[in-house]
Amino acid sequence: MPTWPVSLPQYPLQEGYKEAPGANVIESQVDAGPPKRRRRYTKRNDPHTMIFELDDTQLATFKSFYGTTLQDGNLSFDYVHPAEAVLATWQFQGQPEYRSVGGPLYQVVCQLLRTG
């Protein structure tokens, strides 16, 4: 499985970092009282939002990683969770967004799904 390139920042910016537990509840409405609910899957996929600050060279590396290595984001990759410091498996959810922050610096907004 591909691995997050070492030449790219290993930690996202603190500002804009978001993570949440994935939905794993299935509910049935009943005639009276709260809905019956149970766990749907034995494993959960957690969505994350990460923003990385890259220079020109790193941006080119990222674009190559996303477009070629991950086949336009279709493949999963390994990356160490920035908060938990454990190796995890990730998928891109949607396309990354690039924005210039002045000079040779860019921010890349990534919507990622932790799958393992």
Partner 1 sequence: MARTITARLRAAMQAQETGEVLQTVCEIAHASIVDGPLRVVSDLQDFTSDGKTYTAFPFRVTLPASAEDGRGRLRLVLDSVDRRVLQAIRQIPPGDPPTVKVDLILASEPDQVQISFPELKLRNVTYDVFTVEGEIAVHEDDREPAPAMTFSPATFPGLF
Give residues in contact with partner 1 (CB under 8 A): 33-34, 36-45, 115
Quick one: 18 or 36, whose CB is closer to partner 1?
A: 36
Min separation Cβ 29 and partner 1, Å? 12
CB 45 to partner 1: min, Å: 6
**Residue 89 or 111 with smaller CB distance to partner 1:** 89
Cβ proximity to partner 1: between 14 and 29 the closer is 29
Using left for φ > 0, alpha for ψ between -120 and 50, and beta otherwise, residue 57 falls in: alpha
Q: How far is the CB of 94 from partner 1 (least distance, A)?
A: 17
Tokens standing for residue 2: 């591909």
Residue 50 CB, shortest distance to partner 1, in Å, is 21
Q: Which residue lies nearer to partner 1 by CB, 30 or 85?
A: 30
Per the listing, tokens 């005639």 go with 31
Q: What secondary structure letter does DSSP report for 45? A: -
Closest CA to 85 of 18, 11, 6, 31: 11
